[in-house]
Structure 1
């Protein structure tokens, strides 16, 4: 059992229809057919949406996505129409809202990996592969791969694990042409992101993208992009293969949840506890720092 510790009630806004409450974002539709994505301050770990929010996190994710969309726009169009909340929206939506054109989403998490970590490391240790892609012997936690690899996953419902799948599995469901298009644009976007991050002293170890079809049938980049919720960022000057890397994400709270201090048994069906203030502050510091390192500016909270 997992999911939300407490599922929030959606905010009701005249003229908007609530469509979905996700782990982090709430999705609405407008009367003229646009979508409104509102990034909350919720945070998840180990398939649970935690009872404690990280104040300002939603604005950091939104600002970083907008910053990256600008830098990737020549490679693929994106779904953003505006970052101005609709009329009548709560004041708190400012800075955390994206108004987007609707897409027919492709139900594949398009993951690119340039380093070995996370679920990719676990599979490599078992089989010497990642999503069926053979890798050289002798790699370890954090190793740089010979070349970036496309390692797709099938998106799961809230509370369930995304399932890593092979390129062939994607092709068998969606056709080789679309699978190849997803792979190629994913790797091009990752290479651009990795180059920009490297110029700022940051390693983009891996990331995931989501795509949909626009009205003309072309692929369009949707959802968030290259945020610390969808990407693994490491400080380049602290990268040492062979051990877990310090990361600009929610690893601080993951470590606390699995420590004796939390009193939580991850293997049980008991929901995780509230986060103490010092864990909230340190987690927000990591999100703030990656925004500053990438953009050169502190986020507007």
Structure 2
């Protein structure tokens, strides 16, 4: 992807879908990319709400669960996504950032044997939920359920982020929970913030983490057991992999060398069966 005239462009030169929100401010020189979850039940519902004159909220981009991206505010204009916020000596991050909303129900509660959104009352299967404490909670806090992001959303976030970092020289990628701690918890522990930040901003050592398998391990086409196993898997015990992204307990890996006659295996596996090389 590329940015042209403050609009997102696809590799084929066509503009990404654009549905203007009326909730936009003056011109800005963005320095940060802020990640949010919508907390709703669909990308279409979020887009409709951001276009509603009553909502008084907006974001520059909305990323659906299938990875489709809709732009709603030009990148050089303020969108109303951050609210009361602070980072370092800066306050009011709407004036300094590009806001990206990912279609995700966010924090979930256990009710009637199901994971349920407190906002929409929609339920989600266990395979779509990560159970983990939030990073801003005190040590020992009970874990909560969080709606899992899809691999397509993470890939789209990276593709958009690469274009934005290159065009605007952004200096960091932050969560809403970084700039408004105590008030906001999005994007939550399932979003692989450290991996996304490392890919967009550059690793400090430029060396991906390397692990080896502690058991025979299937590498799948997506982050979950329901996705198809890739050719060449299961990986034998002791196979080395490089970790590309961490999405909860499911990690995207690049298998080192040829395995079972197959080269260039890149996919998702459960991190339970990976241990750091050298241990």
TM bucket normalised to smaller: under 0.3
Higher relative contact order (CA 8 A, sep 6+): 1
TM-score, normalised to structure 2, is 0.26
Q: Give the structure with the larger helix fraction.
A: 1
